Chains A and B, each alone.
Chain A
Amino acid sequence: MIAIGESAPGFTLPDTDGVEHSPQEDGITAVVFTCNHCPYALAWHDRLTQAARDYPDVRFLAINPNDAERYPGDSFEAMKERVAQEEWTMPYLRDEAQDVARAYGAQTTPDIFVIDGEGRLRYRGAPDADHDDPALNAAWLREALDALLAGEEPQRAETPPKGCSVKWKS
């Protein structure tokens, strides 16, 4: 579990095409723990893909850490099918060993961690205040990105993540 201001763990994970991705070394990265089977993750998905589109200088990395044995809807194959069927604006990575989710202390899907160019955690939490209100447009995440891109501190560095619990392997 990392706190705001601490160094975020590095990682390299494969996306649905087998291409490996890591956080940016000299820029901002938004790490979005998400999944296929959670209604909260699905409800927020379009807002997050739009944010990825609107912030081309920020590297967005979606990561699915869920146990696919108990939850086959979150298997690597199911992830590939979903990416093939939908418009994704960020790579969708598989955290098969759940090591990255554990290192970050991800609790829910979605759970967002924004890392600055020095590798420090600068925002953690939900995209915005209400999964049920698309008009909120991932406002909390955007506020944090706007502040960091302007060289400022995010005013709201931490919000409570809300969603389905990460499905840990037993």
Chain B
Amino acid sequence: MSAVPAVELLWWDGCPSYDDALADLKRVLSEEGVSAAVELVEIESFEQAASERFPGSPTIRIGGEDIVPPGDGEPFTLTCRIYRLRDGRVSPTPDPEDVRAAVRRAKEDT
């Protein structure tokens, strides 16, 4: 099994996408042979969203880096995050292949 830096999933309970995102993340980590515990961080206030630089739920960070970096000027707030799948569709969760690419980058950098 490989190791990668800390894997975090930041979430807010006003958005129901957390379970799907966590399932995708764990599946990709397993498929990539990575032994990493996922630290779950609940964001509960606008103040915490600002201090954690939380652009919305869910946000996945590996080694402190957002796997899908938010655009310039994107607010840090309690919201559901808008992702684009690789086929162009809007989704409340990142494309699993984007998750996989981030995990592979982290493996290469470790």
Query: Could you tell me which A residues sit within 8 Å of B by CB distance?
Result: 37-40, 42-43, 70-71, 131-132, 134, 162-165
Please determine whether B89 and A70 come into contact, CB atoms closer than 8 angstroms: no
Interface residue SS majority, chain B: loop
Q: How far is the CA of A71 from the CA of B14 in the complex (A)?
A: 14
- Answer whether A71 and B79 are a contact pair too, CB < 8 Å, given A39-B90, A42-B90: yes
Tell me the number of A-to-B contacts counted with CB atoms below 8 Å: 39
Please determine whether B15 and A37 come into contact, CB atoms closer than 8 angstroms: no
B91: Cβ under 8 A from any A Cβ: yes
Q: How far is the CA of A39 from the CA of B83 in the complex (A)?
A: 8
User: Which one of A42, A131, A163 lies within 8 Å of B82 (CB-CB)?
Assistant: A42
Contacts of A37 in B (CB 8 A): 79-80, 82
Please determine whether B79 and A163 come into contact, CB atoms closer than 8 angstroms: no
- Answer whether A40 and B80 are a contact pair too, CB < 8 Å, given A162-B16, A164-B15, A165-B14: yes
Instruction: List 9 tightest A-B contacts by C-beta distance, closest first.
Output: A39-B92, A165-B14, A42-B90, A164-B80, A39-B82, A43-B90, A39-B90, A39-B80, A38-B80
